[in-house]
Each structure stands twice: as C-alpha cells, then as structure tokens.
Chain A
C-alpha cells in the first residue's frame, strides 16, 4: 500500500498540471476573444479612396471567359474587365466598344470594324487589330469555346490596316449582338497569364484578386481609353445563403445587394439609407415538358397542364415576377403578349385530361434544389386540383445536367433559363425539351439569316406563337429582380443584373 501511495503523489500532480494548463489556455483564449471584441468595436477606419462592395449570389466556377459556361462570368467580367468589339446599353441597344465604328454591307455578308486607337491591355501592351483577329479566330476554331456556334456563319476574319473585316457565308441577324458578348471579347495574343484564375483585359477595371468561394476584387485601370472608373475599388462578395446577404446589407458590409430573395425584402424595407429598386430580367422560369415522351406526346396533356396553372398565384407566392405566355420575354426581339394562350382554366384542364384518357396522371418534376420549394409547392396543389399527382424530385444542379439536360430522363423540369435571346433551344430537337416542329425550325433559320432586324424579329414572333400554341412548355413567369442600393452609390445598373453588370458609371457621393 505504501508503494502505491508514493507513486500516486507525482501522478496526481501531473494530472493537476494538465488541468491547470487547460484552464490557462481557456483563460488566454477567452481573453483574446474579449480583446478582439473590444478592438473591433474601437476601430472604424475610413479609407481615403472610394470602394463599393456588391453582394452576388452565383460565383463563377473559374474565370475562363473562352471555355467556361455560365452567365456568372459575363455578369462580372464583360464590360468591366474584358471588353468586346461591341457593347450594349441597358435598353439592349448595340454600341461601339473596342471597335470605334462598324458597318455592315447591304447584302449582310461583310462586316467591317474599325479598331479604336490607343486601347491598352491591363499588362500595359497596346491592343492591335491582330489581337482582335486572333481572339475571334480562336473562338471560331475551338469547338470547346463557349461562343463557338455564334460565329458559325463567319467565313474569314482579316485585319486590314486599323480595320478588321469579317466575311460571312450567309447573312446573320444575330452576329452584332453576339459580338457584344463572349464571341467578341478581345484578348491579348502575346499574353501568358492563366485565364482560369487571372484576367488581362482592356476594360475600365483590372481584376486584382479572386478569392475562390468568397470574393472578386476589381480596381480602377488608370490607362483606360475612355472615361476612367468613378470608384477605385469594387468588391463582389458571393453569398450561398440568401439571408446572409440580407444580413450583410443590414450590418453595412455591403453597399449593393443584387438578386435579393423576394421573401426577404420585408427585412430590408426597415433598413435606412437603402433604395430597393425593382428591375427587369430575362429570367424565364420554365416548366419544361419532355415533349418526346408519353404522355407529353399528346398535345391535350400539355395544354391541360398549362391550363391547370395560375401564373398569378405562382407570382404572388414567389414574390416577384410578370406573367410570360411564351418562349420570348419582354425586351427580346420577337416578343408579343401570348398570355391568352392556354390561360388558367382548371375545369377545361380536367376535360382535356379525360379526353386524352389520363384522368389520374402521376408525374415527377425534377428541379435543381437551389430554386427552393415555393414554386413546386404551388404547382403540386394546383395540379392536384385537376387530378395530377406531382412528385417533386430536388437534385443538385450537376445531377440535373446529367439526368435531365443530357439523358433527357424526366417528365417535367423547372429551370430558370436566364440567357437573353435563347429562342434557338426551341428550334433544336436535340435540346432537352425534345420539341420538334419543322415549321418553327424553318422560321428560326430564316430569322437567323435575315438581313434586317425587324424582319428577324417578325420571324421569331411567328415562331414563338407556334411554340406557345403547341403547348411545348408552361412558361411560368419572368422574374423581377430587386437590388438594394445604398443612397450614396450612384450609377449602379438595376435591369438585367444577372446577365451583365456594367459598372462604368458607378460612383460614390458623400
């Protein structure tokens, strides 16, 4: 017993020591936390240069403007960091950018762009017409390029002095529009930077840092050819959680928040010093039918589903939007109000389903989970009223791409088709809609090769009407965006914010 006693003493001291160490560490860290709180409360440093922090929802996967898809890249980089031959204003009017002027021959087969003098890349080199030729040829030749098909009609691209001349194999009514985007972006031929993580453009802002999973920072480019940027720094902060974005506005961490979740707008209404601006979008929330598969091969089933849905109820639940009766949204060429086609009529929907021989239909809707449950909740109850049992299958976007988009393995699917001027999907029978109408394809082709904009728009209008009358899908609504803007921030665009954020006119007033 005595032996045990004599060894226990130092051991007890050792355990005692460990407990003491733990206590000391705890006290030290707790002290550090308190100090941190006090220190942060005391510091309210004001920088002498202007900076605007903007909240965004969707972060690009990488910065490769040539190959990586996704409107999140165009939104932040085009017009700000990269510039294209042409640009567009918020009404959709095409303006000159890297080209100081452009002209199109009468037959619509020759496009001549005069390249602006004194345009500098962010690495200090001067832009030459040969850079333009190289950039466009790269997209035309590389089938991995995102805008590859947009230059399909282009035959040759040649520099002629300060001009760049494009010759076409057939007229293209969409080429000028395409050249305001990815197809027209000019990169430096001799540059060696990694375009997946850095950028060397000609725009009014340089890309100074990209913290993946967090933020993108732009700084004013002092050698910009046009009016210099009004603010020294713009930070795009990405939020995966919509209430976190609203909280960031409330705590003053953000001067601008785009794409505010409609259900959270009330929280912001009480915040002082912010304007809540509603804006237009081309975000077409579309309930796609698998047209190539039964029971959707029967037009009566498609019409019944359309007539079972009340877009007004849906918009009221979703919080913001305008009804959309066909594939082309307001603002795009070829738009007309088609909301009278297959308008809300649940009694007639039941009749149509009975005629088609499917009075008790069970369908599955596949939807990317980030859209939430508001829309599918309303749809489930509305379809139930006409005898359709709807099963909701939320999936990750990557799964949606493989199951629905590629394998066409679905009944119904809900997607926000956000791109503008994307009617081509309805003229492509291989697209996941599985919609195949030769008349629509012919009209679309004619609109593409039209030599005047109005002729192209008329063809699209006719085609869109056929698609809607065919009940190829139910166009639920075009969403309305809400942007929260600090009173001191001027010139922030509020229309079509998910497609393009041109910050040339951004300024801060005190």
Chain B
C-alpha cells in the first residue's frame, strides 16, 4: 500500500512539473504581449517599448520560468502585470464562484447520470431504456453553449424560475440568491457530464447483471433488481467514483465556457480575460492551479479506489 501511494505521489509530482513547463512554453508562443495591450491602438512603438522595459518582459525565458516556479514552491503564485494584485488572492476570491459551481455541476451529473444509468441498464431490452440511452448518447455530444442557451430560454425566459445571468454583487452574503444564480449554469454542465456518466453507469450495471454473484443471489429468491441493488450497487459505486475523477476535467473546461455565457465572475471568465490581455504570469498560475486540481483529484480517486475495493487491496497486499 505504501509503495502504491509513493509511486502515485511521484507520478503526481512529475505530472505537475511537466505541466508547468508545457504551460509556460505554450503561452510564450502566443502572439502579442501585455505591453501592447496596455499601450492600445494609439501607442507609438517607442511607448510600447518603454512599457515593456518597465514590466521587465525582456528577461530570458529560463530566468522567467525559474522566478515563477520558485514563487510557486513557496506558495506565491505571483502577481498580475496589469494591476499588480496578487494572483493568489484573486484566485481565492473567484474560487468562491467557481468551486461551488463545479461541485454543484458534479452533483447534478451524479443525480442525473447514476439513477438513469441504472434504470436504462435494468431496462436495456425495453423501449424506455433504449430511448433514454439514445437520448444520453445525443446529449453527450451537444455543445455546452447550446445546452446553456436552451436552458436559459426554458427556465429563465419562458418559465421565469431562475436567474439567467450574473452573481449577486455581495456574493455569498446573500446565500439564497448566490445559490439560485448557480443552478442553471451548474445544471447545464451537469446535464452534459451526466449524460456521459450515464453511459458508463449503464455499462457497469450491465456488467454486474451478468456477474455470478447477482445470478446466485437471484437464484436464492431475490428479484433481479433486489439482487442488483444489494450486491451489484457497491461495485457500480466504485466505477462511478473513478469516472467522476476523470469528469472533473470536463467540469473545469465546462466552467470556463459557462461563466462567459452566464456572466459569472469566476476563475474561468478571469482566465479568458487574462489570456486576452496577455497577462502571462497570471495565466500560467491559473492554468497550473486548474491542472493541479485535476491531477490531485485523480490521485485521490486512485487512493480511494484502492482503499474501498477489497479485490485490489488484496492483490496489492498479496
């Protein structure tokens, strides 16, 4: 077990290091720079050069990278070239929107994907099961912006139940409004990710249906559904946890798009703005943090899986 944890930890660290280099280099390939953005469409080349010099943009790349990573290792994510504010404090402020949005999206995904996946598997031979899994197949391929627009029209404009944009200016000081404003965006991501989850749950349940222990339980007098719920569900729960670990990445990408559409002041929208402004020190820390979240969740899921699946643990112990 300890060896397992150590190898996974090493993988995590190597993954983060590689990610940091990739992020850093990819951003340097982008055309344009922050000095030009500050100078704007009336600035003379001399003025842009003066601004660039002032910001220290002419330092060699290895020096810039070392500066950045050195700070990150001391938990200092650097500061914006444009406003001078600390990236860490701004991230924690924007996370108040994005973290609940991501969590709520996952929750919706599970609420939608898990039960429906279960039902479609049990009813896989009937029309209702086929229709639902066909729908899921379609939904999983729908662009998220389009799904969001449809939901806005239905719940926001036609029914008028939920706010279609924005986040209260006082944030979580108005918990009711804050939560309400996250429901539609989270539902949008949740439906798409839920449709993906549904397909995995369905095939996991179908597998379980064919397992000996379910057949044995059924032959001992339980109905097939009872046998599945009592003996199959724990196995299915395991695969749901693994899939959710992977879906974190989908949720992160989803929030970037959805925060634009719903005008939410979160990390995703900040990221898009900062890329547009070429505020690279800020962008690289934001990207590293998001990558870190995805990698760390993957790491934790691996550990959890190991902990709660007796078969894997026995194999490791033996």
Contacts and interface: CB of A to CB of B under 8 A. Distances in A.
Contacts of A40: 174, 176-177, 179-180
Nearest to A17: B308
Interface in A77-125: none
Contacts of B51: 67, 144
A15 B234 contact: yes
Interface stretch (B7-15, B36-44, B58-66, B193-201): B36-44
B269 A37 contact: no
A375 to B, nearest CB: 18
A244 B32 contact: no
B242 interface: no
B107 interface: yes
Contacts of B178: 36
A15 B308 contact: yes
A423 interface: no
A149 B174 CA distance: 48
Interface in A134-187: 143-144, 146, 148-149
A32 interface: yes
Interface stretch (B117-125, B127-135, B161-169, B204-212): B161-169
Interface in A204-251: 211-215, 217, 235, 237, 239-241, 243-245, 247-248, 250-251
Interface string B206-228: 00000000000000000000000
Nearest to B263: A244
B163 A251 contact: yes
B183 interface: yes
Nearest to A248: B165
Interface string B275-312: 11110000000000000000000000000000010100
B83 A196 contact: yes
B318 interface: no
Interface residues of B, number: 68
A412 B94 CA distance: 39
B156 interface: yes
A155 to B, nearest CB: 21
B237 A402 contact: no
Contacts of B234: 12, 15-16, 19
Interface string A321-361: 00000000000000000000000000000000000000000
A83 B270 CA distance: 30
Interface in A239-298: 239-241, 243-245, 247-248, 250-251, 253
A397 interface: yes
B156 A399 contact: no
Interface in B242-285: 260-263, 265, 269-270, 272-273, 275-278
Interface of A: 7-8, 11-12, 14-16, 18-19, 22, 26, 29-30, 32-33, 35-40, 43, 59, 61-63, 67-70, 143-144, 146, 148-149, 194, 196-197, 211-215, 217, 235, 237, 239-241, 243-245, 247-248, 250-251, 253, 396-403, 405-406, 415, 417, 419, 422, 430
6 contacts: A69-B39, A197-B84, A213-B270, A215-B169, A243-B149, A253-B163
